[in-house]
Each structure stands twice: as C-alpha cells, then as structure tokens.
Amino acid sequence: MPAAIHAEGLARQFRVLRVRPGARADAGGGRARGYARVDALSDVTFSIEPGQMVGYLGPNGAGKSTTIKLLTGVLRPSAGTVRVLELDPCRQRQRLCAQIGVLFGQRSQLWWDIPLIESFFALRYIYALGAEDFRRQLGRLRELLQLDAFLQTPVRQLSLGQRMRGELAAVLLHRPRVLFLDEPTIGVDAVGKDALRRFLLEINRLDGVTILLTSHDLGDIESICGRVLLLHQGRLIGDGPPAEMTRRFGVRPVLILYFSADGRVRTDQVRDRLPPDCTLEARADGALAVTFDRMALTPPQLLSRLGDLPILDFRLEEASLAHAFLKVYGGGA
C-alpha cells in the first residue's frame, strides 16, 4: 500500500528582512537593512503509512508548522518532494483538499459571527457533500464531540475548548482520510484535552484516519501516538515509538525512596547495594532518587537489593517523553 504521507529531502527557506543594529527599522535605503536566509526545514525525509497516528515534536521554531504547510500545499518546498495520498499538494491542491483535513489550533476556520451550525452548513456546500452523507457525519460528530449544547452559539462566544471541538468537527465533516493537526489542544483544559485525545483515538480506530499531530503537550503525543518524529532546528533527529525515543536519548526511570527518620540510612549504604551505573541524588525532602537502567534492573529487583534498609515508602517516576524532550532540547543529550 502506498504511504499516506511521504516527504523526501524536504527543505524550505525563508528570506527575512534584518534591520542592522543601530539602524532605524523604518529607515529607507539598502544600507540600514539587509536580507537573511532562514533554513526553516532542511532535508527532512519520512513516510507515514495509512492509519498511523504520528506525533511531530520540536521546540518553538523547529519547523513543525512549516512542514504542515508544505504537506498541505499552503507553502511550496524550496527543495525535495512531498506526496500526500499520492498527490502533489501544490499542483493538485484542490483534489487533495477533498481528502484531507487541516487544523491550526492558533487560528479558526469557522465563521466568527454566526452560530457554529451555520459554519457546518457552509462547509457542506464548499465540499459539495450529499444531504444524507452530511446529515450522518454531522450527527456522529455532534455525538462524539458533544456539540449540541453550543451548536446555535456564535463562534466568538465559545470557550476555547468548545471552539476546538467545533473546529475538529469542521475538518472532519467531509470524512478526510488524512488529518493534520497543528496544536489542537492549545489552551484546552485537562478534561477537554482528555476528551479530544479519546476522540482522536476513536476516529483513528473507526475510520482509519491517518493523523499527523503537533503539540507542546507531550502527554497528548505520548498517550495517543505510536510513533514520534523529533525535529530540531529544521532537521529530523529521531523517529520511533515514544518509549524508544526516551531510551535512545538516555532518559531513565527514577525510583524515589523514603526512609524512616530514625533509620539513618547513608547514601553510601544504598550505593554499595546497587550496580555502578545507577545514579543517586539526595532530594530536599530527605528522599533519595535512584536513576536506573530498566533493561538491566527491574524496580522489584532494585527494591529487593535494598530490602534490609528501613524503606518507609517509594515512588516510581517513569522515563517520559517530557524528560526526553528536556534532555534533547535543553542541551543535555
């Protein structure tokens, strides 16, 4: 089966105006101003199979939104090729639009001043959807996204979480096969995020929709994406399941140990009982944090080695994508 999304050697540069230091921004003439080239994306190659749900991860300015714009035909690549459902997004944009959905969480594609439902009616005509088809899909989305309470409300009066549910319905009305979501949970509270995550899992499972998703909430990606692509300064630096990424970037689980106050356990007593590659750190609350390699030692094995010490309580902090993110982008990897 051909890939749903394929990017090969994808690159995009921007020419940006730079005002020379000391020069007034509004000064005319070439000497005060100059152009600089920004490499927003360099030599990015990946393929996404139909039905996959992939997280696209990177810090601010890494090139995530630029990639989505290239994949949806909003921007033209400076180099490389892109195929989405075997179509060229720039040259075959209209054909592609009928089969994809794009959501930029920062912007709205709904009509601001009219009730939400009216935007859906307008989209029905834009996508030339049959009456029955539209009725069925809208009914489904109303139920899955619980839209009924605010269908008649003008979009400008919706809360952020309500608007995002409306936006998702709008991009799914025409039953796209591929969905691009750029920060779909931005500003949404924990309950709303959880509902959106479950919704995305549901449409992925039921309809086999291929989803490429960016988010600064790594919990979004960790909980729903079986695969992540890591982007750094416009280059792809990692591709695999979230757990593999955390391992690859050397992020390990941490066992936090609490000893009884009168036990007087010295750090070196713990040290002596553990393999040399475990690291120990005393925490401000008196607990001891043991970082260990899960491949070499399971938490029960670790605890049994310390069984003769007066352990009062313990807590396991799993290696998370958030830790890997901090390590990679915070300069620790």
Ligand X SMILES: Nc1ncnc2c1ncn2[C@@H]1O[C@H](COP(=O)(O)OP(=O)(O)OP(=O)(O)O)[C@@H](O)[C@H]1O
What is the nearest approach in angstroms of ligand X to the Cβ of residue 94? 23
Beta bridge partners of 239: 229
Q: Does 66 bind ligand X (CB under 6 A)?
A: yes
DSSP character string of 144-207: HTT-GGGTTSBGGGS-HHHHHHHHHHHHHTT--SEEEEESTTTT--HHHHHHHHHHHHHHHHHH
Tokens 């008649």 label which residue? 152
Tokens 């000391």 label which residue? 22
Q: Does 162 bind ligand X (CB under 6 A)?
A: no
CB 276 within 8 A of CB 285: no
What is the nearest approach in angstroms of ligand X to the Cβ of residue 90? 16
Q: Which two tokens stand for residue 221?
A: 């990606």
Of 42, 52, 65, 137, the one binding ligand X (CB under 6 A) is 65
DSSP state of 87: B
Of 55, 58, 89, 105, the one binding ligand X (CB under 6 A) is 58
User: CB under 6 A: which stretch of 56-64, 84-92, 199-207, 276-284 binds ligand X?
Assistant: 56-64
76 vs 220: CA distance, rounded Å: 29
What is the nearest approach in angstroms of ligand X to the Cβ of residue 257? 37
Query: 75 vs 306, which CB is nearer to ligand X?
Result: 75
Residue 296 CB coordination number (10 Å):
11
Query: 173 vs 328, which CB is nearer to Mg ion?
Result: 328
Query: 65 vs 72, which CB is nearer to ligand X?
Result: 65
User: CB under 6 A: which stretch of 63-71, 147-155, 290-298, 316-324 binds ligand X?
Assistant: 63-71
3-state secondary structure of 82: strand
102 binds, options ligand X, Mg ion, none, Cβ within 5 to 8 A by partner type: none
Q: Does 38 bind ligand X (CB under 6 A)?
A: yes
DSSP state of 158: S
What is the nearest approach in angstroms of ligand X to the Cβ of residue 14? 3
Q: Does 62 bind ligand X (CB under 6 A)?
A: yes
Q: Does 60 bind ligand X (CB under 6 A)?
A: yes
Q: CA separation (Å) from 262 to 258, 265, 267, 309, 310?
A: 12, 9, 15, 12, 9
Number of residues that this document lists for the chain:
333
Q: Which two tokens stand for residue 75?
A: 């921007």
Q: Does 66 bind Mg ion (CB under 5 A)?
A: no
Q: Does 64 bind ligand X (CB under 6 A)?
A: yes
What is the nearest approach in angstroms of ligand X to the Cβ of residue 38? 5
Of 6, 46, 58, 65, the one binding Mg ion (CB under 5 A) is 65
User: CB under 5 A: which stretch of 1-9, 58-66, 97-105, 314-322 binds Mg ion?
Assistant: 58-66
Q: Which residues contact 75 (CB under 8 A, 6 or more apart)?
A: 12, 66, 69
**Residues at the interface with ligand X (CB under 6 A):** 14, 16, 38, 40, 58, 60-66
